[in-house]
């Protein structure tokens, strides 16, 4: 408490000075500076109120002899009065100064002075035009009656001026001068969250002058973005798109905001992640390549920073899915070439990856898989081909459409024991699980996978199928050496697929998983796998009631344990 | 029902007293009761908003009171003039008490506690008095900021926000007065004309006559309330009064800017007929000064040639029916005057020539 009041006192001095400099915020500089400090000042007012409400008015004056100046100056700064909840907190502070039963003239004086300030904020409004006052009073209206209407008319008038500007841009007569637009955007900073201002905010965002430089004030974008992210305003997608295209920091903040939400939400729940994604409007906005590239770049950094954390990977896949969906909804005839979204990738590869498995009969899935694998292999292993990026770039591209690699794993498992597993699928799996491997290591991984598959196939037909056997089949490497971690993860995934698809596997799924989940990390991996699989099946409309039921039950059980 | 009407009557009295010095006798308990009343009536408003019979009864009672209040000033001092007003009667009462310096310290202290309970009080946000008062303060600051920075008065008067708002308020009030008084809003308008600055009053009247047939603000409320009257109809009554008062219509046609009058005349044929009549009348007062070679008036109140020409020119720029009407009038005046084609003999010939060369 003592610490707090020391902090408050030093802040107090700082703000008294600021308020004196700002005066009535009537110049460009003071407006600019006021806007910069609005949230901080509101926080200070809040702390001030918390301190004041514990004291009687005499103690307040003793502790803060200049409180009157502070509050009176605040009352004269329209930017502060207009911002968020500042006017309300200021009123609370003033209420603390009112003495219920003044004992001497000094106390009465203070009461009267405080009431004057309260009136100033609330009641005694006089517009600066005498005739208007006379007229409204003559009609018997109080300011409270016509304020909303007046503000609405003013906003609409400005909106139509901006629109006209927009339409007859070169007609200098009707044009709103750029300085005026700029000043309007500055005035809007504290007001963006006032519902009456929504049409004006939208008109400003979609307004483009003839000037080569940005006319709107950067803080305006910042304030709108902040309000949008905190859901304090509703804006149409088109306006949000303009905001993000015009102000890169706002876009970056929006993506980071989404990331933060994903990180703090429940782990391994793609349904919820999808809701967050759509709610953020980012997938829709990403239909504009410039926005897609920024978002994508940030996903790339997130992947690099987390060394390919499965959660980030899964989130990126959901994002891509939502983005593709939005793209299809938005334009039957694409406005932008695919190349503009994925400039470093081979266009034909992007085309194949973009195909939706849902649109292809399940029996033919092996065809696109084979193509994807071959194309990737050709690009990755041909070192002379520089134009389409290195292994990481191509893996990053594949990772967007990670569903294909999952389908590859499923295909291998559903046909286990029937025939030799196709090389193309093996390669695709090996590449997607460890893109940094050289050809030799990758061949090694393929051999391991093949061995696991054939082992599982043999077990399926043998009478000695047991949880222990199954786990051993997946975990014991062919030569007895421990496998690299990526390869271990891959074989775990194969085993999990086996448990869901093979009838014999389903019966002992619970036992195998209990044996398998030795660490929290692996437990999360299993939960993630089940969640992603169910999410993917839902979207593909995979009809496998037995597998689906089991996966759902397992997911519920494991979530309960985790 | 009777008790409800009584409550309404008593509260109206409280509201009327709330802005007088009588509140100096109020204590905390009086303030509490007054606020409770207001809250109760707000609840009534919410509860019976769609209940036509009760609404009608309440509205009739409000209007009776208004009528009784009688002819002291132009304005209904009461504040509660229609059913809608019940929806924010607590806000109205609060603002009056906050601004009334006669209210004692203890009562004022109590009022503040009631109005601003502070943060963290359940339901203390939107929809409560604290929320509405803060919103009002915020809107007030917003209007101030817009006016002092980016906002400009619109040169097209009827599109100016301040004018438009005043015009909307005028029509709104006219409707209420019309319902309260059998003789329509004529007496009310005449009283306004006597008490308010004429220039602004005329401008607002013009803006009101030019409001779109149903401005969105009213449309919303009316469709919700099942009230069939539109801004256009309320405008009729205003027009009727305007045309019936020769002093006012002359001032209207004489003092308002040419462009504004052209718009009003274009919308209301009745106005265009009277306006053209006045213009030709004014024209007849001018005679040709041979030495100077111009048309001049004999008396100071005569309309100068330049102004007459300006008004006709503006009318001729209006879309067809009005423009044709104006030209027909001018030509028939010219014919009556002998149909001369030489300048300096008939003002109508000269006006037509000037308009042709100016067009």
Please name the residue of chain B whose CA is at the shortest distance from the CA of residue A75.
B141
- Cβ contact B161–A157 (<8 Å): yes
Lowest mean pLDDT among A34-43, A224-233, B47-56, B247-256: B47-56
Residue A330 lies in a domain: no
Give the closest of A87, A99, A108 to B138, CB-based.
A87
| Selected residue with higher pLDDT from A346 and A126 | A346
HEC string of A117-162 equals HHHHHHCCCCCCCHHHHHHHHHHCCCHHHHHHHHHHHHHHHHHHHH
Residue B126 lies in a domain: no
- Cβ contact A154–B130 (<8 Å): no
Give the closest of A82, A128, A148 to B141, CB-based.
A82
pLDDT (mean) for A512-516: 86
Same domain for A103 and A139, yes or no, is no
Residue among A537, A501, A352 nearest A417 (CA): A501
Chain A residues within an 8 Å CB radius of B101: 112, 115
| Selected residue with higher pLDDT from B206 and B225 | B206
Lowest mean pLDDT among A2-16, B69-83, B283-297: B69-83
pLDDT (mean) for B119-136: 75
Same domain for B3 and B103, yes or no, is yes
Residue A261 lies in a domain: no
Same domain for A31 and A145, yes or no, is no
pLDDT at A170 over 70: no
Residues B52-57: contacts with CB under 8 Å, at least 24 apart: B52/B226, B54/B1, B54/B4, B55/B83, B57/B1, B57/B5
Q: Do A410 and A497 meet the contact criterion of CB atoms below 8 Å apart?
A: yes
pLDDT at B231 over 80: no
Chain B residues within an 8 Å CB radius of A137: 75
Burial (CB count <10 Å: 0-12, 13-18, 19+), residue B280? middle
Give the closest of B108, B139, B161 to A147, CB-based.
B139
pLDDT given for residue A235 in this prediction: 93
**Distance (Å, whole) CA A545 – CA A527:** 19
pLDDT at A129 over 70: no
Question: Which residues are CB-contacts of B35 (< 8 A; sequence separation ≥ 6)?
Answer: B90, B93, B94, B111, B114
Q: Do A405 and A398 meet the contact criterion of CB atoms below 8 Å apart?
A: yes
Same domain for B280 and B238, yes or no, is no
pLDDT band at residue A514 using 50, 70 and 90 as cut-offs: confident
| Selected residue with higher pLDDT from A388 and B25 | B25
CA atoms within 13 A on the CB side of B336: 10
**Interchain CB contacts (distance < 8 Å): A and B:** 189
Q: Do B174 and B187 meet the contact criterion of CB atoms below 8 Å apart?
A: no
pLDDT at B164 over 70: yes
A64 in reach of chain B (CB within 8 A): no
Range 2-21 of B in CB contact (< 8 A) with A:
none
Residue A385 lies in a domain: yes
- The 3-state DSSP class for residue B295 equals strand
pLDDT given for residue A171 in this prediction: 52
How far is CA B71 from each of CA A93, A298, B205, rounded to the nearest angstrom? 43, 72, 22
A112 in reach of chain B (CB within 8 A): yes
Same domain for A144 and A206, yes or no, is yes
Range 241-300 of A in CB contact (< 8 A) with B:
none
- Cβ contact A157–B105 (<8 Å): no
Residue B353 lies in a domain: yes
pLDDT given for residue B222 in this prediction: 44
Same domain for A40 and A139, yes or no, is no
pLDDT band at residue B224 using 50, 70 and 90 as cut-offs: very low
pLDDT (mean) for B201-220: 77
pLDDT band at residue B220 using 50, 70 and 90 as cut-offs: very low
pLDDT (mean) for A38-46: 95
Please name the residue of chain B whose CA is at the shortest distance from the CA of residue A176.
B150
How far is CA B140 from each of CA A422, A436, B146, rounded to the nearest angstrom? 74, 63, 10
Chain B residues within an 8 Å CB radius of A74: none
And the tokens for A28? 């460009």
pLDDT given for residue A383 in this prediction: 64
Query: Looking at B256, B287, B306, which one is the last position of a domain?
Result: B256
CB atoms within 10 A of CB A520: 9
| Selected residue with higher pLDDT from B230 and A461 | A461
Same domain for B190 and B161, yes or no, is yes
B101 in reach of chain A (CB within 8 A): yes
Same domain for A81 and A55, yes or no, is yes
B304 phi, psi to nearest 5 deg: -65, 155
Q: Do A532 and A493 meet the contact criterion of CB atoms below 8 Å apart?
A: no
Same domain for A114 and A162, yes or no, is no
- Cβ contact A91–B137 (<8 Å): yes
Range 283-312 of B in CB contact (< 8 A) with A:
none
Give the closest of B75, B161, B200 to A150, CB-based.
B161
Chain B residues within an 8 Å CB radius of A85: 134
Give the closest of A100, A141, A194 to B109, CB-based.
A100
Tens digits of per-residue pLDDT, A530-545?
999 999 998 888 888 8
A105 in reach of chain B (CB within 8 A): no
The alpha carbon of residue B271 is apart from the nearest alpha carbon of chain A, in Å, by 24
Tens digits of per-residue pLDDT, A423-445?
899 999 999 988 888 888 888 88
And the tokens for A539? 């979207």
pLDDT given for residue B227 in this prediction: 47
Same domain for B50 and B40, yes or no, is yes
pLDDT (mean) for A77-92: 94
Q: Do A421 and A450 meet the contact criterion of CB atoms below 8 Å apart?
A: yes
Range 121-140 of B in CB contact (< 8 A) with A:
130, 133-134, 136-140
Same domain for A440 and A510, yes or no, is yes
Question: Which residues are CB-contacts of A462 (< 8 A; sequence separation ≥ 6)?
Answer: none
The rounded percent of chain A whose pLDDT value lies above 70 is 92
Same domain for A166 and A100, yes or no, is no
Place of tokens 């069939």: B228
pLDDT at B301 over 70: yes
Residue B148 lies in a domain: no
Chain B residues within an 8 Å CB radius of A184: 149-150
Please name the residue of chain B whose CA is at the shortest distance from the CA of residue A160.
B159
pLDDT given for residue B230 in this prediction: 53
Same domain for B323 and B239, yes or no, is no
Residue A289 lies in a domain: no
pLDDT given for residue B29 in this prediction: 95
Tens digits of per-residue pLDDT, A117-126?
998 888 655 5
**Distance (Å, whole) CA B9 – CA B57:** 12
- CATH code at position B225: 1.25.40.490
Same domain for A229 and A176, yes or no, is yes
pLDDT (mean) for B135-151: 87
pLDDT at B182 over 60: yes
- Cβ contact B161–A121 (<8 Å): no
Question: Which residues are CB-contacts of A318 (< 8 A; sequence separation ≥ 6)?
Answer: A270, A273, A274, A277, A535
Please name the residue of chain B whose CA is at the shortest distance from the CA of residue A53.
B118
Q: Where in the sequence is the domain holding A553, given as residue range(s)?
A: 342-561
Q: How many domains does chain A have?
A: 3
Q: Where in the sequence is the domain holding B85, given as residue range(s)?
A: 1-115
Residues A61-64: contacts with CB under 8 Å, at least 24 apart: A61/A110, A64/A12
Chain A residues within an 8 Å CB radius of B173: 139-141
Residue A291 lies in a domain: no
Query: Looking at A246, A270, A299, which one is the last position of a domain?
Result: A246
What average pLDDT is seen over chain A? 87
**Distance (Å, whole) CA B3 – CA B81:** 20
The rounded percent of chain B whose pLDDT value lies above 70 is 85
Euclidean distance between the first and final Cα of chain A, in Å?
40
Question: Which residues are CB-contacts of A142 (< 8 A; sequence separation ≥ 6)?
Answer: B79, B92, B95, B96
pLDDT given for residue B72 in this prediction: 45
The alpha carbon of residue A245 is apart from the nearest alpha carbon of chain B, in Å, by 25
- This model of the complex carries an ipTM of 0.85
Same domain for A240 and A136, yes or no, is yes
The alpha carbon of residue A312 is apart from the nearest alpha carbon of chain B, in Å, by 38
Beta partners for residue B287, in sequence order: B296
| Selected residue with higher pLDDT from A3 and A339 | A339
And the tokens for A318? 């959901």
- Cβ contact A140–B79 (<8 Å): yes
Residue B140 lies in a domain: no
How far is CA A66 from each of CA A11, A61, A81, A103, rounded to the nearest angstrom? 13, 8, 20, 21
Same domain for B180 and B163, yes or no, is yes
B352 in reach of chain A (CB within 8 A): no
Q: How many domains does chain B have?
A: 3
- Cβ contact B95–A147 (<8 Å): no
- The 3-state DSSP class for residue A288 equals coil
Rg of chain A over all Cα atoms, to the nearest angstrom: 32
Chain B residues within an 8 Å CB radius of A118: 98, 112
Residues A123-132: contacts with CB under 8 Å, at least 24 apart: A123/B95, A123/B96, A123/B98, A123/B99, A124/B99, A125/B140, A127/B143, A127/B162, A128/B147, A129/B162, A131/B197, A131/B199, A131/B200, A132/B162, A132/B166, A132/B200
pLDDT given for residue B11 in this prediction: 87
And the tokens for A1? 């408490």
Same domain for B225 and B288, yes or no, is no
CA atoms within 13 A on the CB side of B62: 25
pLDDT band at residue A384 using 50, 70 and 90 as cut-offs: low
**Distance (Å, whole) CA B209 – CA A442:** 83
Query: Looking at A96, A122, A148, which one is the last position of a domain?
Result: A122
pLDDT given for residue A137 in this prediction: 83
Same domain for B2 and B81, yes or no, is yes
Interface test with A, best of B75, B118, B137 (most A CBs within 10 A): B137
Residue A414 lies in a domain: yes
The alpha carbon of residue B342 is apart from the nearest alpha carbon of chain A, in Å, by 39
Give the closest of A81, A142, A152 to B137, CB-based.
A81
A111 in reach of chain B (CB within 8 A): yes
Q: Report which DSSP code applies to B294.
A: E
B295 phi, psi to nearest 5 deg: -85, 130
pLDDT (mean) for A230-255: 95
The alpha carbon of residue A545 is apart from the nearest alpha carbon of chain B, in Å, by 48
pLDDT (mean) for B168-173: 90
pLDDT given for residue A417 in this prediction: 62
How far is CA B84 from each of CA A237, B35, B56, B62, B94, rounded to the nearest angstrom? 36, 18, 12, 11, 17
- Cβ contact A144–B91 (<8 Å): yes
| Selected residue with higher pLDDT from A318 and B88 | A318
Residue among B220, B307, B326 nearest B269 (CA): B326
Same domain for B108 and B15, yes or no, is yes
pLDDT given for residue A390 in this prediction: 78
How far is CA A207 from each of CA A46, A166, A561, B152, rounded to the nearest angstrom? 36, 6, 54, 18
Query: Looking at A246, A276, A291, which one is the last position of a domain?
Result: A246
Residue B131 lies in a domain: no
pLDDT given for residue A166 in this prediction: 64
Same domain for B265 and B252, yes or no, is no
The alpha carbon of residue A335 is apart from the nearest alpha carbon of chain B, in Å, by 37
How far is CA B82 from each of CA B57, B63, B135, rounded to the nearest angstrom? 11, 8, 23
And the tokens for B333? 């005046």
- Cβ contact B196–A135 (<8 Å): yes
Please name the residue of chain B whose CA is at the shortest distance from the CA of residue A89.
B118
**Distance (Å, whole) CA A256 – CA A268:** 19
Tens digits of per-residue pLDDT, A251-280?
999 999 999 998 888 777 889 999 999 999
| Selected residue with higher pLDDT from A13 and B7 | A13
Give the closest of A49, A98, A152 to B108, CB-based.
A98
And the tokens for A515? 């044996």
Residue among B138, B142, B161 nearest A159 (CA): B161
Same domain for B265 and B247, yes or no, is no
pLDDT given for residue B34 in this prediction: 93
A149 in reach of chain B (CB within 8 A): yes
The rounded percent of chain A whose pLDDT value lies above 90 is 43
B66 in reach of chain A (CB within 8 A): no
Range 22-51 of A in CB contact (< 8 A) with B:
26, 49
B200 in reach of chain A (CB within 8 A): yes
pLDDT (mean) for A360-387: 82
- Cβ contact B74–A119 (<8 Å): no
Residue B217 lies in a domain: yes
What average pLDDT is seen over chain B? 83
Residue B135 lies in a domain: no
Residue among A171, A142, A159, A168 nearest A196 (CA): A159
Same domain for A58 and A170, yes or no, is no
Same domain for A135 and A95, yes or no, is no
Give the closest of B112, B149, B173 to A139, CB-based.
B173
Tens digits of per-residue pLDDT, B263-297?
999 999 999 999 999 999 999 988 888 888 888 88
How far is CA A479 from each of CA A362, A432, A444, A476, rounded to the nearest angstrom? 36, 23, 11, 8
Same domain for B240 and B264, yes or no, is no
Residue B207 lies in a domain: yes
């Amino acid at each position: 408490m003592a610490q707090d009041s020391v902090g408050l006192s030093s802040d107090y001095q700082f703000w008294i000075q600021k308020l004196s400099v700002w005066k009535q915020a009537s110049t460009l500089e003071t407006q600019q500076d006021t806007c910069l400090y609005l949230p901080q000042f509101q926080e200070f007012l809040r702390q001030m109120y918390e301190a004041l409400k514990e004291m009687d008015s005499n103690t307040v004056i003793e502790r803060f002899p200049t409180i009157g100046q502070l509050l009176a100056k605040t009352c004269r700064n329209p930017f502060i009065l207009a911002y968020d909840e500042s006017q309300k907190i200021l009123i609370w502070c003033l209420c603390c100064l009112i003495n219920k039963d003044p004992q001497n003239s000094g106390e009465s004086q203070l009461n009267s002075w405080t009431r004057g300030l309260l009136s100033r904020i609330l009641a005694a409004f006089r517009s600066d035009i005498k005739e208007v006052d006379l007229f409204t009073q003559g009609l018997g209206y109080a300011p409270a009656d016509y304020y909303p209407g007046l503000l609405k008319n003013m906003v609409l008038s400005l909106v139509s001026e901006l629109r006209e500007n927009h339409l007859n841009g070169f007609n200098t007569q009707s044009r709103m001068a750029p300085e005026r637009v700029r000043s309007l955007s500055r005035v809007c900073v504290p007001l963006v969250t006032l519902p009456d201002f929504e049409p004006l905010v939208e008109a400003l965002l979609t307004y483009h002058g003839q000037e080569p430089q940005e006319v709107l004030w950067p803080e305006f974008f910042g304030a709108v973005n902040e309000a949008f992210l905190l859901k304090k305003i509703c804006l149409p997608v088109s306006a949000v798109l303009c905001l993000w295209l015009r102000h890169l920091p706002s876009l970056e903040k929006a993506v980071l905001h989404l990331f933060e939400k994903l990180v703090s939400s429940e782990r391994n729940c793609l349904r919820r992640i999808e809701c967050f994604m759509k709610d953020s409007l980012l997938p829709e906005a990403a239909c504009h390549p410039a926005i897609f590239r920024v978002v994508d770049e940030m996903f790339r950094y997130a992947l690099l920073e987390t060394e390919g954390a499965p959660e980030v990977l899964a989130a990126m896949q959901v994002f891509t899915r939502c983005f593709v969906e939005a793209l299809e909804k938005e334009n039957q005839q694409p406005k932008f070439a695919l190349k503009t979204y994925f400039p470093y990738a081979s266009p034909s590869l992007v085309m194949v990856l973009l195909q939706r498995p849902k649109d292809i009969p399940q029996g033919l899935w092996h065809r696109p898989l084979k193509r994807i694998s071959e194309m990737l292999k050709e690009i990755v292993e041909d070192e002379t081909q520089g134009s389409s990026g290195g292994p990481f770039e191509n893996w990053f591209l594949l990772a967007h459409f990670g569903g294909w690699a999952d389908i590859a794993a499923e295909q291998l498992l559903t046909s286990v024991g029937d025939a030799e597993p196709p090389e193309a699928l093996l390669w695709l799996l090996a590449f997607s699980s460890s893109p940094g491997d050289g050809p030799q290591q990758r061949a090694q991984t393929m051999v391991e996978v093949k061995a696991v598959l054939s082992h599982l196939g043999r077990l399926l037909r043998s009478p000695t199928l047991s949880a222990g056997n199954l786990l051993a089949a997946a975990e014991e490497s062919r030569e007895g050496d421990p496998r690299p971690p990526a390869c271990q993860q891959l074989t775990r995934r194969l085993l999990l697929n086996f448990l869901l698809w093979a009838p014999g596997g389903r019966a002992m799924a619970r036992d195998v998983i209990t044996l398998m989940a030795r660490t929290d990390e692996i437990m999360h991996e299993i939960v993630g796998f089940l969640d992603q699989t169910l999410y993917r099946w839902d979207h593909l409309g995979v009809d496998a009631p037995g597998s689906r039921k089991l996966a759902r039950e397992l997911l519920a059980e494991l979530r309960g344990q985790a | 029902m009777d008790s409800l009407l009584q409550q309404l009557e008593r509260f109206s009295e409280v509201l009327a007293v709330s802005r007088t010095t009588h509140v100096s006798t109020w204590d905390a308990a009086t303030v509490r009761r007054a606020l409770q009343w207001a809250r109760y009536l707000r609840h009534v408003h919410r509860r019976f908003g769609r209940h036509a019979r009760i609404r009608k009864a309440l509205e009739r009672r409000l209007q009776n009171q208004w009528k009784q209040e009688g002819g002291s000033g132009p304005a209904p001092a009461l504040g509660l003039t229609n059913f809608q007003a019940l929806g924010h009667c607590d806000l109205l009462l609060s603002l009056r008490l906050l601004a009334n310096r006669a209210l004692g310290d203890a009562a004022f202290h109590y009022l503040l506690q009631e109005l601003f309970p502070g943060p963290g009080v359940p339901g203390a946000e939107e929809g409560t008095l604290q929320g509405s008062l803060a919103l009002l303060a915020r809107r007030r600051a917003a209007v101030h900021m817009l006016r002092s920075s980016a906002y400009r008065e619109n040169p097209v008067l009827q599109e100016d926000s301040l004018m438009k708002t005043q015009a909307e308020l005028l029509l709104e009030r006219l409707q209420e007065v019309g319902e309260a008084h059998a003789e329509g809003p004529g007496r009310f308008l005449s009283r306004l004309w006597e008490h308010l600055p004429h220039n602004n009053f005329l401008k607002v009247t013009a803006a009101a006559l030019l409001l779109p047939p149903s401005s969105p603000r009213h449309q919303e409320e009316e469709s919700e309330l099942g009230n069939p009257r539109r801004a256009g109809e309320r405008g009729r009554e205003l027009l009727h009064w305007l045309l019936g008062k020769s002093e006012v219509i002359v001032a209207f046609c004489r003092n308002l800017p040419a462009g504004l009058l052209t718009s009003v005349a274009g919308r209301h044929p009745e106005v265009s007929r009277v306006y053209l009549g006045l213009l030709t009348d004014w024209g007849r007062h001018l005679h040709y000064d041979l030495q100077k070679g111009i048309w001049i008036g004999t008396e100071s109140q005569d309309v100068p040639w330049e102004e007459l020409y300006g008004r006709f020119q503006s009318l001729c720029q209006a879309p067809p029916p009005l423009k044709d009407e104006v030209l027909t009038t001018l030509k028939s005046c010219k014919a009556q005057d002998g149909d001369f084609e030489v300048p300096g003999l008939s003002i109508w010939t000269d006006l037509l020539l000037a308009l042709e060369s100016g067009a």
